[in-house]
Structure 1
Amino acid sequence: MNARDLVLAVDVGGTKLETAMVDAEGGVIAGTRHRAPTGPATDAASLDAALRDAIARTLASSPTAPVAAGIGTAGPVDLPAGTTSPLNLPRAAEFPIVRTVAAASGVSDLTLRLDGACIALAETWVGAARGASDALVFVVSTGIGGGILSGGRLLAGGTGNAGHLGQLVVAASVDDAAGLDTAGGGAGWTAEGLGSGPHTVAWARRQGWTGDTGEDLAADAAAGDAIARRAVERSARVVGIAVTNVAMLLDIDLAVVGGGFARVSADYTELVERSAHAHAVNAYGRRVRVVPAAAGADAPLIGAAALHWRADLLR
């Protein structure tokens, strides 16, 4: 490893994509970070164009060519095929992300994982999960995604989709005893369908709240608005149920929570932990600690680069 070696980091999500160069210490190289918006209207052609443009700008602003590329993306992914079908980008299903990044960058050493898995790698490498052996790392934002560390290694699963925390079903019906007021079945009963930022805002509006965004919700909850506060508590309760499901199944010690919506209230992390402990059936589940993420806003890019720099953490 040369001290000047850099890795091209790529992160594709439901609201934006980003690219940057990252060094062997997890540092994002100044001036190499470029982004483009994404969203439900993004189709395969526009995603391809935006990704190629961002990569070209990152390479042009880099002091050296990359030795490898790490790709984190919203999923589901198909690691053998090198494709992704982000739930929040329905028009870009089965997008050939590995082929696109290879063509745009000229790099042959590429590794693909879920964005949640990449964030887990970042927190394990430079953040709140350093030294952990068995942990869940996740974000609550536009969606809810995560990665799982087990026995000191990142779980991938058969197709690369281990860690899809947001798709855990946490309510059985619209009459669920927890009073979660689900709006429908299927995805509407999942942790993401009930507890993510946009869905929490939508729930609050159905109760009569008149704000528009997660930022509005945070401000009103802090100011004492009862509906806004209930919405925050509901989200944390749902997420806590998902955390305890993982704790029951995998006997984890630590859950690290990040993402924009996790900052909706000062006590959100505490509320998630309280819910996780309250819903744990077995005593070992109540030992899981829920702590805030520490890798910061660069975590998706740091984690994508860690697919190369910290390949020792991969199975």
Structure 2
Amino acid sequence: MTCVLAIDIGGTKLAAALVDEAGSVLCSATRPTPRTDVMSALAALIAEVTEGGPPPLAAGIGCAGPLDLATGAVSPVNMPSWRGFPLREEVQKLTGLPTVLAGDAQCFALGEHWLGAGRGSESLLGIVVSTGIGGGLVIDGAPLLGPTGNAGHVGHMSIDPYGERCECGGRGCVERYSSGPNMVRWALANGWTPAAVGTNAAIDRSNETVVAATGGPSAPSGVQADGRALARDAAAGDPVALAAFERGARALAGMIASVAAAAEVTTVVVGGGVSAAGEVLFEPLERALDDVAGLPFVRAVEVKQSTLGVRASLAGAAKLAWQAHPPNV
């Protein structure tokens, strides 16, 4: 049986799998991302996945960025121990396999195009809405990576040149309005008080936000101010929570309309922790997109929720490897 090794590297979790040509996972494993010596943890994970399995033909890696495709180096914002780290070279030395690299959001888009909600789309934009906002483009079945590998950075498209200053240094970036932490920050600043209730599964725990750590307004003692609480309160009709999602959805709609106008994408797949809020996000997004989109081909874009969830980036890493190193070639 032929397979490839797929690797997904993020700030909280490392994942690896052996994946066949049809996208079936033969074996997989995950473990937390350590603060230091990430490569040792990754080596142990790869050994766990490959032991006893069929020998993979190649390895594909999806990693948080930014990255540099020319050198195969990565500098993930949420992994301070890796700055200019030669990831592609290190994995190739470790495994002895031809190795390809792309951003994790680019792999998310490719995975959804291959096996998920974007299957069959001629031109797709994948968006990961979570602690930050990432994106990737798949055009005619191939990922659009760009000269340095950072194409699809839609979270830092400016939708308001007079808007708020973003953490990246830019102004009016989508991420400043639509990411989980920034929606929570805005809601607290505008009078939202999270309801003191038990746990709720509206949004993945990966989207937790302790706003006090950013220097912004904070929730009452003992009450969790995070994206799950914001989604829960919005679903219950809290006006400020609803306004936060409306504001975030409108920024996303502006970005989607702009990308559709520039690249004529026909499908947009939205994933990440915030997307788990469901209709609380997607209903205002649909309304906002209907309002801001003008040209017929822009208005025709179809927005879907991810069907692969956390598996999308790993699937995309596998597809990346299959595309670069097809069997019997």
Q: Report the TM-score when normalising by structure 2.
A: 0.82
Alignment-derived partner of residue 45 in structure 2: 54
Decide which of 43, 51, 73 is 2:63's aligned counterpart.
73
Q: Measure how far apart 1:163 and its partner are.
A: 1.0
Alignment-derived partner of residue 16 in structure 1: 13
1:274-306 deviation digits (Å, cap 9, x = unpaired): 323322243431111111122232111111111
Structure 2: gaps (5+ residues):
195-224
- 1:113 matched to 2:102? The reply is yes
Contact 1:14 / 1:142 at 8 angstroms: preserved in 2? no
Contact 2:166 / 2:176 at 8 angstroms: preserved in 1? no
Contact 1:136 / 1:255 at 8 angstroms: preserved in 2? yes
Question: For the residues of structure 2 that align with 1:90 and 1:283, how far apart are their CA atoms?
Answer: 44
Name the SS for the 2:77 alignment partner. Answer: coil
Call closer, same or farther: CA 1:27–1:65 in 2, change over 3 Å.
same
Contact 2:62 / 2:101 at 8 angstroms: preserved in 1? yes
- Of 200-209 and 137-146, more deviation after overlay is shown by 200-209
- Of 246-255 and 291-300, more deviation after overlay is shown by 291-300
1:168-208 deviation digits (Å, cap 9, x = unpaired): 1122224xxxxxxx365734621122211122122222223
Contact 1:222 / 1:265 at 8 angstroms: preserved in 2? no
Q: Measure how far apart 1:64 and its partner are.
A: 2.6
Alignment-derived partner of residue 33 in structure 1: 29
Name the SS for the 1:29 alignment partner. Answer: strand
Name the SS for the 1:227 alignment partner. Answer: helix
Equivalenced residue count is 295
Question: For the residues of structure 2 that align with 1:171 and 1:83, how far apart are their CA atoms?
Answer: 32
Question: For the residues of structure 1 that align with 2:190 and 2:165, how far apart are their CA atoms?
Answer: 12
Alignment-derived partner of residue 176 in structure 2: 193
Contact 1:21 / 1:33 at 8 angstroms: preserved in 2? no
Work out the percentage of aligned pairs sharing the same amino acid. Answer: 40
Q: Report the TM-score when normalising by structure 1.
A: 0.85
Alignment-derived partner of residue 304 in structure 1: 317
Call closer, same or farther: CA 1:208–1:47 in 2, change over 3 Å.
farther
Contact 1:52 / 1:100 at 8 angstroms: preserved in 2? no
Q: Measure how far apart 1:267 and its partner are.
A: 4.3
- 1:261 matched to 2:274? The reply is yes
Alignment-derived partner of residue 82 in structure 1: 72
Contact 1:141 / 1:261 at 8 angstroms: preserved in 2? yes
1:203-256 deviation digits (Å, cap 9, x = unpaired): 222223234211111111111211111112221111111111101111221111
1:50-94 deviation digits (Å, cap 9, x = unpaired): 32232233233x523322110001112111100112233345221
Name the SS for the 2:192 alignment partner. Answer: coil
| Root mean square deviation, CA, Å | 2.3
Structure 1: gaps (5+ residues):
175-181
1:79-137 deviation digits (Å, cap 9, x = unpaired): 11001122333452212111222233x23211101111111111111112121112211
Alignment-derived partner of residue 115 in structure 2: 126
- 1:205 matched to 2:188? The reply is yes
Call closer, same or farther: CA 1:307–1:87 in 2, change over 3 Å.
same
Contact 1:217 / 1:264 at 8 angstroms: preserved in 2? no
Question: For the residues of structure 2 that align with 1:164 and 1:146, how far apart are their CA atoms?
Answer: 6
Contact 2:125 / 2:268 at 8 angstroms: preserved in 1? yes
Call closer, same or farther: CA 1:240–1:91 in 2, change over 3 Å.
farther
Call closer, same or farther: CA 1:15–1:194 in 2, change over 3 Å.
farther
Contact 2:113 / 2:124 at 8 angstroms: preserved in 1? no
Alignment-derived partner of residue 197 in structure 2: none
Letter in 1 for 2:259: V
Call closer, same or farther: CA 1:183–1:117 in 2, change over 3 Å.
closer
Decide which of 86, 91, 97 is 1:101's aligned counterpart.
91
Name the SS for the 1:230 alignment partner. Answer: helix
Call closer, same or farther: CA 1:274–1:90 in 2, change over 3 Å.
farther
- Of 62-71 and 218-227, more deviation after overlay is shown by 62-71
Question: For the residues of structure 2 that align with 1:37 and 1:124, how far apart are their CA atoms?
Answer: 27
Call closer, same or farther: CA 1:188–1:10 in 2, change over 3 Å.
farther
Alignment-derived partner of residue 148 in structure 2: 159
